[in-house]
Structure 1
Amino acid sequence: MTKIRTHPIDIYGNQFNRTGFVLVIMVGTFLTIINQTLLVTALPKIMDDLDISAVNAQWLITAFMLISGIMIPTSAFLLNTINNKKLFMVAMFSFAIGTVICAISTTYNMLLIGRIIQAIGSGLMIPLMQTLMFLVYPVERRGEAMGLVGVVIAFAPAIAPTLSGWIVDYFNWRYLFYIILPITMVNILLACFYMRNVINLNKPKIDVLSIMLSSLGLGLLLYGISVAGNIGWQNKITWLSCVAGIIFISLFSHRQSKLTQPFLELRVFKSKTFTLSTIIVAIIFMTMIGFEILLPIYTQTLKNLSALQSGLILLPGAIVLGIISPISGKLFDKYGVKKISMIGMFILAVATFPFFFLTEDTATWWIVCLYSLRMLGMGFVMMPLATAGINALSNSLISHGSAITNTVRQVFASLGSAVMVGIMSAAVTKYSNSYGGTTMTPLLNGLNKAFMSGFILITIAFTLCLFIASPSKEAK
């Protein structure tokens, strides 16, 4: 009988503690991801304190998403150039420095700079975690590994608004950063003992033009999508930015096909499983972000609930997702992706459908149940599909696959909020012209139309799931 190795080994052949390694990488990524949505419910207090407009305040979130999105593709190159322990430290120290600047900031510009420095670390940490988790678990346990990744990627941004709402209601908004900073420093200290180098470096030649094309393309595309929710898709700034971004991304893609050592290896899209799973997960993530934005609008505007109460409505769903993600990962290891994803998509579709029939009198408990059921379905779909996609790649392509998956997810997350809020706004404007003796307010009609768009997206993702085949569990 072959002896099963229970401990992973680093690039030097030394065994190390997987539990400590995983804990350090998960806590570090959780801290960086939670900052994506941490300021959502704190913006009004920040606006009052720093005397800034809503547009400027929104840039504290938009800039974070932009810089983080730009950094993600660069991570594939850095993971093959710098040893992963050093890269982890760089990312965490960047995040820590940004957090200090945010905590002590007395002006808007200072706070914005702090957010940008935070985002550099965040953009590196997301694909870093996914790549490292794949490499320290054997193929037959990668579902379990990605279940843990799912807890971080989905749970952190979902719980952040509730946490933020509670803190800003009782303390100064700067405590959002004061609380995170000591946890970050403790995690850096633990990384000194538990982090190990597990990636064999091939040190590809740096291609400055690829970096420029990637940064310009993603930056312009994400900017265009981000501002669309405020100024509309018909605005010249929106579509010119998006078109320019797509052109630069196309030039970047063309260049990668000509390089002997691509900055970002796009050959991963030759895998049908990887391509389909990436698209499906991105669509689902798109609806998740859209719903997280629309539901607070509904509960605060039409049901007159506070920001904290609104956040608490989302909390049970976030907890359900956090619990089910590791469970679905183990089920994936046992049953494969096909059965798990189809069950999850069915639950997700059933739970999404009632949202476009909401009224002002819809019971809050019913909303909580539906949203929690949506997150249950999401937990059965996102990480198993993401695992199947990465499993379809060779080990040498995992870092590139992780970078591409997270880049697409970042773009679709921004697209989700812009599209669904845009549909709501357009429906509100159209319905306002005929609003008179009807019982439905324009805002409620707009929300229903936006939720309907979410159901259509889920239906598309459901259909694509039919073409996913359970890959063999051979080591790549």
Structure 2
Amino acid sequence: MNTSTAATGAAPQDLGNIKRLPILISLIIGAFFSILNETLLNIAFVDLSIEFDVAYTTVQWLSTGYLLVVGILIPVSALLVQWFTTRQMFLGAMTLFSIGTLVCALAPEFSVLLIGRVLQAFGTGLMLPVMMNTILLLYPPEKRGAAMGTMGLVIMFAPAIGPTLSGLILESLNWRWLFYLVLPFAIFSILFAFVFLKNVSTITKPRVDILSILLSTVAFGGIVFGFSSLGEGHGGWASERVYLPVIAGGIAMLLFIWRQLVSKEPMLDFRAFKAPMFSFGTVLIIIVMMSLFSTLLLLPILMQQGMMLSAFAAGLVLLPGGIANGFLSPITGKLFDKFGPRALVIPGAAILVIVMYFFTQLSLDTSKGTIILLHVMMSIAMSMIMMPAQTNGLNQLSPKYYPHGSAILNTLQQVSAAIGIAFFISVMTTSQKNYLADVADPTSKIELANSLSVGVNSSFKLGLVFAIIALIMSFFIKRSVPPKA
């Protein structure tokens, strides 16, 4: 078999006659609601912890577990998009997501709720690479920025708006309505895609490498599980539940990468990293996703448990930033097409550093207006970095690497988000414990609130370090030159 052809998922000859807009709308509808679920439950964690009588660190698995499954599944998607058509992948993904949503809504206990989240995650993990790969095939490099910017509206806006929508719903309804209200839209996306979504890739059915699938699962699953256990407070890095999965995942990752490099038909072709702008863009995106998801988890915790705001009030505080993110993503995509990545990524990284510094100064007395302003500025920075860096990196790849490049980016986005959440939560809880160990009355409500503030500040200091690294790296970004066919 010609491996180059197998890797491309190449478009059919009459691709130019396909109407792009209905396909893009189909993908966006499904993607929005599946990605929305990555943060929709964040503000409900307190309620869920009380209702199911489980620790907050256990409830965290509804978020990190979702990201874990998505991170495990996406690498396999580079293979699946060459075995199944665009319609089959998308409709199957959204069907799984809808079933998972229904299971969550009806869950009688925490374990069933977690199973529902896993089903949702399977749908999301299958759908995300389909969306990105389809855009790469439909749009030429010179028009790809605007299309990817529209996709950025989904990838960045959906998780950003999740806590706000959650807060609005929880103000008058219980947490189950977070799923009841999503289900009709998920079903609608299936019906809309059934009518309008067209196949844009060719089935080539490359060899299925079972060993690579197993190594990929152990690699990404072990690393995320270990870091998530770290976030649960299982004795820190000295705990076997933390270091054993991380070590096993690290070893499996090395073996997985080696196997892909020596294979004639790699499941996930890491040769894409030979393109320097793809490599730089990937690192920047990892940092941005860690900052985004961690912030969207830390701020609601601080506002609800420290500042004693309601879920509704906390959601409203995060609303302007979510709106700014969604509004700016398509605009930054068009600016990227015109001016290139440097004009956006460098200022965006600088803004991110400034915002993360001020986040380290948050206290229980910080006004809601200040948090709103900082969150809006962070949203602006994210929109200036995320899609330009991603599009610029993918533009440097040849078409045969499109499925692999999109799968790599989507995988690392989800895995880095899961690791970021767990790592930041771990730093927060450790700082809280250290603070309470030095006070006279560690059970005092005032001291507990102060400990939370100290913990959140410590987490944001780590975020500041990541932001500085992103700023340094941004100076090495330059406009990609698409390879010759």
> Using the alignment, how far apart are the partners of 1:388 and 1:191 within structure 2?
29
Q: Deviations over 1:414-452 (max 9, x none)?
A: 222222222223333334444579x99443333222222
Q: How big is the alpha-carbon RMSD for the aligned residues of Structure 1 and Structure 2?
A: 2.3
Which segments of 5 or more consecutive residues in structure 2 lack a partner in the other structure?
1-9, 442-446
Aligned: 1:307 with 2:311: yes
- 1:146 corresponding residue in structure 2: 148
- Matched-pair identity in %: 38
Correspondence for 1:250: 254
Q: Corresponding residue for 1:376?
A: 380
Q: Given the alignment, which residue of 285, 297, 304 partners 1:281? A: 285
1:5: which partner in 2? none
- 2 CA distance for matches of 1:42 and 1:360? 21
C-alpha distance 444-48 of structure 1, shift in aligned 2 (>3 A): closer
Question: What does residue 92 of structure 2 align with?
Answer: 90
Contact 2:346 2:471 (C-alpha < 8 Å) held by counterparts? yes
Instruction: Give the drift of 1:299.
Output: 1.7
- Out of 462, 470, 475, the residue aligned to residue 479 of structure 2 is 470
CA contact (8 A) 1:140 1:473 kept: no
Aligned to 1:114: 116
Which deviates more, 320-329 or 295-304?
A: 295-304
Deviates more, 1:182-191 or 1:227-236: 227-236
Q: Name the aligned partner's letter for residue 61 of structure 2.
A: W
1:411 aligns with 2:415: yes
**Stretch of structure 1 that moved more, 168-177 or 461-470:** 168-177
SS at match of 2:208: coil
Q: How far is the alpha carbon of 1:147 from its aligned partner?
A: 0.7
The reply to whether residue 17 of structure 1 matches residue 26 of structure 2 is no
Counterparts of 1:44-83 in structure 2, within 5 Å, are: 44-50=46-52, 52=54, 54=56, 56-83=58-85
Are the counterparts in 2 of residues 144 and 329 from structure 1 also a CA contact under 8 Å? Answer: yes
The farther-off stretch of 367-376 and 42-51 is 42-51
Give, in whole Å, the separation in 2 of the partners of 1:111 and 1:80.
32
- The answer as to whether partners of 2:57 and 2:231 remain within 8 angstroms in 1 is no
Structure 1 residue identity aligned to 2:90: F
Shift of 1:184: 1.5
Q: 1:113 to 1:363 in 2, by over 3 A?
A: closer
On the 8 A contact 1:50/1:106 being kept in 2, the answer is no
Rounded Cα–Cα distance in structure 2 between residues aligned with 1:460 and 1:395? 30
Paired with 2:297 and 2:45, the residues of 1 have a C-alpha distance of: 14
* Cα distance in 1, alignment partners of residues 305 and 103 from structure 2: 34
Secondary structure class of the residue paired with 1:42: helix
**Alignment partner of 2:238: what SS?**
coil
Q: Paired residue for 2:34?
A: 32
- Name the CA shift for 1:420/1:174 in 2 (closer, same or farther; >3 Å): closer
Unaligned runs of 5+ in 1: 1-8
Give me the whole-angstrom Cα distance separating, in 2, the residues matched to 1:298 and 1:319: 21
CA pair 448-105 structure 1, distance change in 2 beyond 3 A: closer
* Superimposed CA distance per residue, residues 44-87 of structure 1 (whole angstroms, 9 cap, x where no aligned partner): 44455555554553333333222111111011001112111111
**Residues in 2 aligned to 1:453 and 1:304: alpha-carbon distance in whole angstroms:** 25
Are residues 193 and 404 of structure 1, via their aligned partners in 2, closer, same or farther at CA, if it must alter by over 3 Å? same
Separation in 2, partners of 1:42, 1:475? 50
SS where residue 233 of structure 1 aligns?
A: helix
Deviation at 1:157, TM superposition (A): 1.2
Cα 1:163–1:261 shift into 2, 3 Å:
same
The number of aligned residues is 468
1:355 aligned to which of 333, 351, 359: 359
Could you tell me whether the CA contact under 8 Å between 1:139 and 1:475 is conserved in 2?
no
1:399-425 CA distance string (max 9 Å, x none) = 110110111111211222222222223
Do the aligned partners of 2:36 and 2:162 also contact (CA within 8 Å) in 1?
Answer: yes
1:364 corresponds to? 368
Of residues 421-430 and 335-344 in structure 1, the stretch that sits farther from structure 2 once superposed is 421-430
With normalisation by structure 1, the TM-score equals: 0.93
What letter matches 1:466 in structure 2?
F
What is the distance in 2 between the residues matched to 1:404 and 1:434?
Answer: 45
Q: TM-score normalised to the size of structure 2?
A: 0.91
Paired position in structure 1 for 2:182: 180
Q: Secondary structure at the match of 2:232?
A: helix
* Kept in 1: contact 2:290–2:416 (CA 8 A): yes
Structure 1 residues 171 and 446: CA distance shift in structure 2, 3 A: closer
Would you say 1:446 and 2:455 are equivalent positions? yes
Distance 1:399 1:416 in 2: 25
Query: What pairs with 1:213-224 in structure 2 (closer than 5 Å)?
Result: 213-224=215-226
Are the counterparts in 2 of residues 139 and 474 from structure 1 also a CA contact under 8 Å?
no
Q: Does residue 161 in structure 1 map to residue 163 in structure 2?
A: yes
Runs of 4+ residues over 6 Å off in structure 1: none
Q: Which stretch has the larger CA shift, 466-475 or 286-295?
A: 466-475
Q: Is the 8 A contact 1:92 1:184 kept in 2?
A: yes
Compute the displacement of 1:183 (Å): 1.3
CA distance 1:441–1:118, change in 2 (3 Å): closer
* Cα 1:294/1:113, change in 2 over 3 Å: closer
For residues 360-386 of structure 1, give each alpha carbon's deviation from its aligned partner in whole angstroms, at most 9, with x where no partner exists: 322210111111111111111110000
Q: 1:301 to 1:186 in 2, by over 3 A?
A: closer
The 1:263–1:413 alpha-carbon spacing in structure 2 relative to 1, beyond 3 Å, is same
Shift of 1:473: 5.4
Q: 1:134 touches 1:145 (CA, 8 Å); kept in 2?
A: no
Structure 1, residues 321-364: CA drift from partner, whole Å, max 9, x if none? 11111100000000011111112112222222222222332221
Q: For residues 224-243 of structure 1, what are the structure 2 equivalents within 5 Å?
A: 224-231=226-233, 232-243=236-247
Question: Which of 292, 299, 318 lines up with 2:296 in the alignment?
Answer: 292
Cα distance change on mapping 1:106 and 1:430 into 2, 3 Å: closer
Q: Partners of 2:423 and 2:229 in 1: how far apart? A: 11
Whether the 8 Å contact between 1:435 and 1:442 is mirrored in structure 2 is no
Residue 294 to residue 44, structure 1, CA distance change in 2 (3 Å)? closer
C-alpha separation in 2, matches of 1:444 and 1:175: 30
Q: For residues 233 and 151 of structure 1, do their structure 2 counterparts lie closer, same or farther at Cα, with a shift above 3 Å needed?
A: farther
The residue identity in structure 1 corresponding to 2:45 is: L
